[in-house]
Amino acid sequence: MKKPKSIQTPLDDRVCRGLRAGDRVLLSGEVYTARDVAHRRLYETILRCKKIPIPIRGETIFYAAPTPARPGRIIGSMGPTTSSRMDPYTPKLLEVGLKGMIGKGKRSAGVIEAMKKYGAVYFGAIGGVAALMAQCVRRAEVAAYGEMGPEAIMRLTVEDLPLVVVNDVQGGDLYEKALYLFRDGK
């Protein structure tokens, strides 16, 4: 088995083009958390031609809402949420520069086409190990929409966050590849 690729945020075209569906990566740097309500607010802000409250060009959004930190911890559990809930808003965010997304589950055809057009990647995070993933967080702070409590956008500094590339800029799809292998027994 190939060694995971270590990559750093912010992501750029060169890094995104070098990733393929099925690649294991260890992601380090800053990522933002955002779920559906935050995505809708970002989307509506962009449609109104207003400035969104976080940088977006080259950034990565983790579809998660971390739980509050226990005493002595940086953050609580941090597991991925279902990515398809963000699909109505994602093409617009990709258009304005988003390069990476982290979540779980399949993406719509429209999101996959936008990823190919704008050169972005979708990473899968392992569900069910939220407490372990939280151990990769070195710093956490509210970045936007603090009034939304746990649904606020957070800026996280992560180190060696274990992910797998699900969709790449060439249109590769790990889920489709797995289904093909399973059906054909190869």
Instruction: Give the β-pairing of 121-124 and 153-167.
Output: antiparallel
Q: Percentage of the chain with pLDDT > 90?
A: 76
Domain boundaries, the chain: 5-16+24-184
Confidence check: pLDDT of 182 > 80: no
The predicted pLDDT at position 184 comes to 62
Task: State the pLDDT confidence band at 23, using cuts at 50, 70 and 90.
Answer: very high
The predicted pLDDT at position 118 comes to 98
The predicted pLDDT at position 183 comes to 66
Task: State the pLDDT confidence band at 39, using cuts at 50, 70 and 90.
Answer: very high
Report pLDDT digits (tens) over 81-125.
899 999 999 999 999 999 999 999 999 999 999 999 999 999 999
The predicted pLDDT at position 119 comes to 97
The predicted pLDDT at position 133 comes to 82
Q: Between these two residues, 77 and 9, which has the higher pLDDT value?
A: 9
Q: Which runs of E-coded beta strand occur in the chain?
A: 5-8, 24-33, 60-62, 100-103, 121-124, 137-144, 153-167
CB of 102 closer than 8 Å to CB of 65: no
CB of 137 closer than 8 Å to CB of 123: no
Domain 5-16+24-184 has CATH 3.20.130.10: yes
CA distance 82 to 90: 13
Report pLDDT digits (tens) over 147-172.
998 899 999 999 999 999 999 999 99
Least confident stretch, 17-21, 45-49, 63-67, 92-96 = 63-67
Sequence-ordered alpha helix ranges (H) in the chain:
13-17, 36-47, 90-95, 109-118, 130-134, 174-184
Token pair, residue 103, equals 């979540």
Q: What are phi and psi of 88, to 5 degrees?
A: -60, -25
Mean pLDDT of all residues in the chain? 92
Task: State the pLDDT confidence band at 7, using cuts at 50, 70 and 90.
Answer: very high
